[in-house]
Chains A and B, each alone.
Chain A
Amino acid sequence: MSKEKYTEMRNQPWRDELRKAVPMKERTAGERVKMNEVDPAERIKSQLLEVNLGLTPEQAQAEAKRCMDCANHPCINGCPVGIDIPTFVKQIEKGEFGKAANTLREYSSLPAVCGRVCPQEKQCEAQCTYHKMKKEPVAIGYLERFAADYAIKNPGECPKPEKKPANGIKIAAIGAGPTSLAFAGDMAKLGYDVTVFEALHEIGGVLKYGIPEFRLPNSIVDSELKAMEELGVKFVTNFLVGRTATLEQLSEEHGFKAFYVGSGAGLPRFMNIPGENLNGVMSSNEYLTRVNLMGAGSEDSETPVLRGNTVMVVGGGNTAMDSVRTAKRLGAERAIIVYRRSREEMPARLEEVHHAEQEGIEFMTLHNPIEYIGTEKGRVRAVRLQKMELGEPDASGRRKPVPIKDAIVELPIDLAVVAVGVSPNPLLLRTLKGVELSKWGTIVVNEETNQSSDPDIFAGGDIVRGGATVILAMGDGRKAAASMDEYLRKKYNLD
């Protein structure tokens, strides 16, 4: 957002009045709100119970009051999609929750999702002026969730976002995860005829198969999808672009003029250590897909999932936290995170680590699996762990874990879930001609525009980044939509 536009928004009479209504001292005196959550002992009994309950209107308004409505808006700079944070927060303070939701919708197609899964402590909240005062930042994530949930419950108060007249140009987004959804939402608002193609039987990508119900209920994702359908976005499931039909067929036979590839980082990485193909060792993708997409945790699902009394999850990211907490909910007595670095280096959201601790998850940091040991029947029964210590910083800037000589322990387990990252999915890429790929198999794009070496093909999310967060993927989708719009306007003389 331009400085002029922001100043104009900030200087509107209602906002000026609101700012002056409460002395700064009073604003900064309050403590950061605590999220209402289900008791740990209760919530681990169910895979489906959402942990965070959200804020009450009173809590939300009190928290919004803490925001000092800074003229230099550092929080916006921390947001990958540039949401006008102070405006929506001040709308909450004023009690205009529907308007706050509409402000969010201008910038994000999935605010109820982002309010739940964004690593706010590393983004918007990390920039909050409160840090300079050695105080806890405004709970922007909680407030985002509050406003977005309000819009879901009170659709009447939140009219559909403005949409440009239809221009008749057909656009396809490939893959129905966060990046494609953000792209599709923006393109629909710009007047394009957008179809999203998905290989699985559900729309949502990682939001459905990956992130568990206890963190992001499917009903929330579905509400956001419904809002997108109302904008005119079409969804096609069970369609593997490149195989069911090629890009050429889609453009020649069905008239699609441009494509956005958001097919994600499909392939789970393994560690290539002995015993990794024993039964009872699986990827977090498999574990979470069985439980989240296929409902394997519930009695009436025909999809099975292996259970374990002692479950080890390898990794320190959000996927690892999701897996280990899922294992606890599926009845594991001990659910253990094994991570080769220390707690400080864990890439997971702070809140997830905190929730995991509350739920009795054990952490074995500075340990790294080197071998799995199986039973006679070929099921994993133990893992050998190499103890590590932190050495010099590596390319990622984090201190590199190095093995401690002869320090190896054996941990009895009956299930292991490997959550050490993903690689790009090669399925579609094999069929894309004329698109430049990197040596890692990701699509090479212009960083400014997200356009690939084929001008009609744009790409973003994990297929470009190789593995990132929901919000970065969404940021790519929005950026690609803006630049594709510009490209197509020129190409087809739309102005």
Chain B
Amino acid sequence: MNKVVSNRLLANNIHAIEVEAPLIARSRKPGNFVILRVGDKGERIPLTIADADVEKGTITLVVQKVGASSAKIVSLQPGDMVTDLVGPLGQNTHISKVGTVLALAGGLGAAPLLPIVKGFKEAGNRVLTVLAARNKDLLILREELGAYSDELLIMTDDGSEGKKGVVTVGGEEFINREKVDLAIAIGPAIMMKFAAQMTKKYDIPTICSLNTIMVDGTGMCGACRVTVGGETKFTCVDGPEFDGHAIDFDELLNRLGAYKEEECKLPVK
């Protein structure tokens, strides 16, 4: 059982939840995720660690309310308990000094991207960040990303804030202006698909972090399998980050929908 320390509303339906987990806070690295479960009948949900405070012994998770399980998580108040929390899981992001890094965040993807942006900045890279969302109410972690980026470009689909357009438009603006050595794209699968297609045109190595369906998160179930470069990989033990140019995004998109019909049958609370 892990105690919830704070629950902060970041944007419409998106919450930052800080949970006591001293051991995970100490051992986690950028790119890692946890699995958590709320309630005895709860589902095991994988969530990327957005931030950690070693001294306070806490980790921060960013959660968007989309279904019954996430609704339960975002309703947790300070003092409430998370039934089960395990981690850190997944391979660490390989952070090194590469030169200029282009970070592309789509919606909720800003949360897993934050520790990676921070890591690359601290490793001495020039970091250019594009933060994109459907509209201004869905933009999150703008200040935090801004603090570790040399430049931060805001994009919204409807133009309600920053420039009007999708994340790839913002990315190309940077690429056309200066040499980019590495791109990292994190967001919905469809956004990463287009981001990877765009960077491929310019031959820029690209990392994507996948948020697949998982049960145990430790390699046991294989629900998270994804085809990368023609080979089946397990997102939980081989990922969650893969070469964006080698991921079979169409298969991934299909697999993400595997339990949709079933999800609809869940009791509505």
Judge whether A295 is part of the interface by a CB distance below 8 angstroms: yes
On whether the beta carbons of A286 and B86 are closer than 8 Å, the reply is no
Asked if residues B27 and A244 are in contact (CB atoms below 8 Å), the reply is: yes
A276 x B223 contact (CB < 8 A): no
Q: Closest residue of chain A to B223, judged by CB? A: A286
A277-B225, A277-B232 known; A268 and B37 CB under 8 Å? no
Q: Mark A302-336, 1 if CB is under 8 A from B, else 0.
A: 11111000000000000000000000000000000
A425 at the interface (CB under 8 A from B): yes
Residues of B within 8 A of A378 (CB): 254-255, 257
A350 — which chain B residues lie within 8 A by C-beta? none
A9 at the binding interface (Cβ < 8 Å): no
B221 part of interface (Cβ distance < 8 Å): yes
A243 touching B220, Cβ below 8 Å? no
B201 to chain A minimum Cβ distance, whole angstroms, is: 27
Q: For B251, what are the chain A residues with a Cβ–Cβ distance below 8 Å?
A: 277
Q: Tell me the count of chain B residues lying within 8 A, CB to CB, of chain A.
A: 43
Complex interface residues of chain B between 119 and 164 (CB less than 8 A to chain A):
none
> Are A245 and B27 within 8 A (Cβ)?
yes
Binary contact track B227-269/A, C-beta < 8 Å → 1, others 0 = 1000010100100000000000001001101110011011100
Chain A interface SS verdict (over half): loop
Known: A302-B69, A304-B259. A286 touches B221 (CB 8 A): yes
Q: Determine whether B222 belongs to the interface, using a CB cutoff of 8 Å to chain A.
A: yes
Q: Which of B87, B222, B226, B259 contacts A268 (CB 8 A)?
A: B222
Query: Which residues 265-280 in A have Cβ within 8 Å of B in the complex?
Result: 266-268, 270, 272, 276-280
Q: Could you tell me the distance in whole angstroms from the C-beta of A303 to the nearest C-beta in chain B?
A: 5
Tell me how far the C-beta of B233 lies from the nearest C-beta in chain A, rounded to whole angstroms.
Answer: 11
**Bound-complex Cα distance A238 to B82 (A):** 12
Q: Is the CB of A425 within 8 A of B43?
A: no
Instruction: Say yes or no for A240: interface residue by CB 8 A criterion.
Output: yes
Contact with A along B65-94 (1 / 0, CB 8 A): 000110000000000000111111100000
Q: Verify B219–A295 contact, CB threshold 8 A.
A: no
- Per-residue B-contact encoding for A253-297, CB less than 8 Å = 1, 0 else: 000000000000011101010001111101101100110001100
Q: Contact between B220 and A282 (Cβ–Cβ < 8 Å)?
A: no
List the interface of chain A (C-beta within 8 A of B). Answer: 199-201, 209, 237-240, 243-246, 266-268, 270, 272, 276-280, 282-283, 285-286, 289-290, 294-295, 299-306, 377-378, 425-427
Q: Which residues of B contact A (CB under 8 A)?
A: 23-24, 27, 37, 39, 41-44, 68-69, 83-89, 215-216, 218-223, 225-227, 232, 234, 237, 251, 254-255, 257-259, 262-263, 265-267
List 6 additional contacts besides A244-B23, A290-B215; criterion CB under 8 Å: A201-B83, A267-B234, A270-B222, A277-B232, A279-B258, A427-B219
Query: Lowest 4 CB-CB distances: which A-B pairs, in order?
Result: A304-B262, A378-B254, A286-B221, A201-B84
